Structure 1
Amino acid sequence: ASFYVVGNDTIHLEKMARWVIEKVNRKIQDKEHHFHFMNTRTGEPDTYFKEQRKSATYFALTKYKIPAFGIETSKNLESLELKIRYHNYVINEFLGLMGVEPEHPAILYEPPRLIYALLVVNGKYPNIVIDNSTVSIYRGDRIKITHIESNYPRGLSCDILGVGTEQDFLKEFEVKDNTSIIFRKDNFKIGRVNISITNLKKDYIAFIFEVNGEKTSVFENDTLFVKKGDKIRILNVLVDGMSSSTFTVNLKGFVPDILYNTGEDRGYLIDTANLKWRKYSVYGQGKCYPVVVTRGSQEIARAYVRIR
């Protein structure tokens, strides 16, 4: 409202606000940072800002007849300290308008900083990363930031350079080249984590099986020969230089009896007589089934189980 009538008195809200704005803008050299007056016309029937009727300023004015104003600064200002200074300018001028002589305490300001973030690679367990750290992943891995811990809880964002947008929080992306993740509080940079791409070494890949209780193994692209009705178990796949917890091993044509199938088939007892999903077998003949190792969306290796 431009003014508010209280009995025989009138509170000239717009006049007060414009007087303060004029005083404050004289102290701000950058004209793009100047304050402007905005009347939300909150009490009017046709206002576009009816939600403001629940605000503290509206409550103070209409309930207790106290002139109240909202002060906003742009999130694009270069620092939080500058925002605080501009807010103090406005508050002090309002106090002066009311005849209150303000004190001028020092601004106790802690610069925003990144404490840590949680980085998930290929949907596996989260990794704690800190400012200026480097994380090594394989080309084609998918990464996602699931948590940002800072000394300020609001206005936090992260940008995975070259693959996403300015706000990549909780978004998963495939990474093919070296990059960095920039963390910000509003527009203020608070941290950086580097992502280093490592090429996968496939010098040694072994598939460890159990067939009718006996351990055996085959190498990448080799075939494990079994008889129909043999009970097999995929114990593990050994990839040189890579933790087995970072990839998935899937026997095509086998679906475990569980509520949610993740595609991870290690550890299950598999009856070869029940491998009936012929469309997943080689050439659709129902004889030879691939065991595929993937890391994220990237296939690392495969071997085969052939039923004689």
Structure 2
Amino acid sequence: MRLAFILLFVLLETLFALPFHLIKKETDTHNTPTLLVIGGIHGNEPGSYFAAALLAQYYTIKKGNLWIVPNLNHLSIQQNSRGINGDMNRKFAQIDLNDPDLESVRSIQEIITSPQVGLILNLHDGHGFYRKEYQNTIFNPNAWGQTCVIDQGNLNTDHPYGNLNEIAAKVSMELNGDLIENHHFFDVRNTNTRFDDEAMKHSLTYYAVTHNKPAFAIETSKNLPQLHDKVFYQLRAIECYMKLMGIEYERTFAFNPETINILLKDYGYLTINNNTYLSLENLKNSLSLIPLQSDQNDFQFSHPLGSVRQNKSNIDLYIGNEKICSVIPSYHPKGNCSDSISLLIDGKDRNITFATDFFVTADFKIINNDSNTRINIIGFTKEGVKDESNLRVELKDFDPKYSIDTSKKSFRVEFYQQSRFCGMVLVHFK
């Protein structure tokens, strides 16, 4: 199931050349309004984009339609910055044609105004805990945390979700029925943007309401102690809005902060050029001599927040704002080996293809009868042997410093035609 949505957002980005991911989960595109959930407009608010990522990964829509943009400002997410090109959420009324954020802003504006979109949620982490009366620097009327934010009380037209204040109040009440701590309670914050907040006139939600689209911001507090607490509240709020719109869903996990914390640590996997596979679980901080092409490498993450950052001598791998590994490449032209790989795993025959992995209890052997193809099992050596196929290999035969994981049980198996790189698989010892 996860692979299906990965292929979907890759396809959408390819077709429409979007600068961010757009993940569509739909059951009726003709008669049912769509909920649009946007995370990551501010790159230093991880509760927003990790909540959107989990929504994409672990929710199945049974009735209705859900669109998810988990990484609107993905370069700022990498750098854990509110906005490396300035505040993107202040560029929706007008934006300079030379602004680096122009493509992202124009693209999301077009999605917001799509006739199918019936309600928009913009996810944020905000300072402090909102209170109508001043208590201290954390609990006060100028705080944004733990609020359902609206720009005005109602839309000016007869829209089924046009009573913004009533809806926000209802969602806040539902959220307050299940709090981790009592002081986490939610309230409605009406910025009364048209008359009282000049800066908010340039925001995404105000752009939406001025185009007759109901829009709300969900603000969890930056002062919550753990990321999974923020994500817990964000997902609960999103579920409230799905319920309001009649969107029926299933999720594949027990809904509590502890389980969410486990899911947040599942970074999935990465394929490169459709011939290389890396499991991102327990990945080492640095990997050397990963075979790549000299240009136009295609990185595809299973995680919606996966991204890369090219440096002079290495490529950094990110999940959201977390740099999980630096890859030092080794450049090779592409070979033309067969991608059908024959194995003997614990004495049993098996066939796999490039960019996959396999698990071993005792030993494995790569079966190769092609004299033009050379197998290089990284971390394994046998004196006088250049092609390491047709050899029985155990975990004790490996030099652990060549493992890709911190547990020292996962190793690369690479296939070459002379200096040309064909592909790679991973072996994991149990």
The TM-score bracket by the shorter chain reads: 0.3 to 0.5
Calculate the TM-score normalised by the size of structure 1: 0.33
Calculate the TM-score normalised by the size of structure 2: 0.25
Larger radius of gyration: 1
Which structure shows the higher helix fraction? 2
